[in-house]
Amino acid sequence: MTVTWSNQQIKEFRKTLLDWYDEERRDLPWRQDHDPYHVWISEIMLQQTQVNTVIPYYTRFMKLFPTVSDLANADEAVLLKAWEGLGYYSRAKNLKRAAQQIMADYQGVFPETPEALEDLAGIGPYTAGAIASIAFNVPVPAVDGNAFRVFSRLMEIEADIAKPQTRKIFTDIIAKVIDPDRPGDFNQAIMDLGSSYMTAKNPDPEHSPVKAFDQAYLDGKELDFPVKSKKPKPVDVPYVGLIIRSERGYLMQHRGTTGMLAGFWTFPLIKIADLDLGDDVVMATELAQHVTEYLHRETGITAELTPMGGRAITQVYTHQKWQVNLFGAEVLAQDLSHFPGEWVPQSNLAKLALPKVQIKMMNRLGMDPTK
DNA sequence: GAAGCGTGGTC
DNA sequence: TGACCAAGCTT
């Protein structure tokens, strides 16, 4: 059963949490001030991404784009390159869109209310709450995975946190518990707690500053919370990857503006299901013939494709697991009329924004993706 | 409201 | 190796 707290308990919890935070808060690059631009960029980078991963990206990003104005005017290719390796690349594109909104609608000055913040591209309920509370001291919850985990344990809340409607339950509870005088510190303290004593795996509730408030721990049920339904595992998707080299460089494909890895460049990737091979099991040599015809149809290139051997390159995403089988050929360069790609000299490859699967293909060839 | 969207770390 | 997990948002 969900525990409820008295007003007295709420006050004691706030003091205990904030006293601990004042002593133990992590010193992070984006915590040097409360500039909304700094808070915003860090919060977007931290979505589904760990602190240690974000730190070097954040530092580089601030040198490249020091202000909202710089970001609004950013070159999209430079922006994607700065985000390369962080994943969820729509975050980067939304950052630029939101920066343009701030310049156009607010003369470059950040709006302060959660409602106005949520109207900016890429800012949802969590990020709006984080910016409003941390940068502007607005007493609103910032309900992220940490808040779900911490409060589900403190109060033994059994609602499934994987379900969208569960957010309201937590938002309402945290709205009552949040410290009205220090909402930003309160929200950040919950996050620090969630990434130290109250982690998902191997938590240490025994030494937590708020263990007296942790009902799940007191009942010996720390790991029973949060309740979270499972997601299906990613499905296998077989691909062919083409290593086509000419005197003008490698054949590279631009992945368009929507869907997986939008805006990125890779060696041409063909979903084997798109080759319409029927249900028969296809041998590598036979597959090579089909791909050769496909390549000719799409690019006009005539090439004698050879399977490159070795295991398929594997790339796991949230919903798919790509298995990329490599085929290669040396050809004479020709103009690519309607194919969305270009010949790229090896010396220019590193200037493009390259996703991990492309890095892995290059590594297989013994190429250095950084030059 | 479910599904799509990346990558790196951990056990 | 597989199965989660990590400061979610958009459609």
CATH of region A235-364: 3.90.79.10
Q: What does A186-219 look like in DSSP terms, one character per residue?
A: HHHHHHHHHTTTT-SSS--GGG-TTGGG-HHHHT
Q: In this predicted structure, what is the pLDDT of residue A279?
A: 61
Model pLDDT, residue A58: 98
Paired tokens of A134: 């941390």
Strand C interface, protein residues by Cβ within 7 Å = A 26, 28, 42-43, 46-51, 88, 90, 94, 121-128, 130, 144-146, 149, 188, 191-192, 194-195, 199-201, 228, 230, 233, 316, 318
CA of A300 to C1' of B9 (A): 44
Low-confidence ranges of chain A (pLDDT < 70): 278-282
Q: What is the pLDDT of residues A295-340, one digit of tens each?
A: 999 999 999 899 997 899 999 999 999 999 999 999 999 988 889 9
pLDDT at A282: 64
Domain definitions of chain A by residue range: 7-224, 235-364
The reported pLDDT for the residue numbered A50 is 96
DSSP A95-115: HHHHHHHHHHHHTTPPP-SHH
Name the active-site residue from A12, A43, A206, A298.
A43
The set of strand B positions with any atom below 7 Å of a protein CB reads 1-11
The per-residue pLDDT for A280 is: 62
Burial A275-300 (b: 16+ CB within 10 A, else e): eeeeeeeeeeeebbebbbebbeebbe
- Whether A118 is a known active-site residue: answer no
Return phi, psi of residue A277, to 5°.
-90, -5
Closest CA to A130 of A58, A213, A67, A191: A191
Compute the half-sphere exposure of residue A143: CA atoms within 13 Å on the CB side of its CA.
22
Q: At what angle do helices A125-136 and A183-194 cross, to 10 degrees?
A: 120
A7-224: CATH topology is Endonuclease III; domain 1 (1.10.340)
Residue A190 CA to B2 C1' — how many Å? 29
Of all nucleotides, the one whose C1′ comes closest to residue A118's CA is C9
| Whole-number distance in Å between A7 CA and B7 C1' | 43
| CB-based contact A322:A360 (threshold 8 Å) | no
pLDDT, residue A1, reads 74
Rounded Cα–Cα distance for residues A204 and A206 (Å): 5
The pLDDT of residue A310 is 86
Residue A226: asked if its preceding bond is cis (omega within 30°), the reply is yes
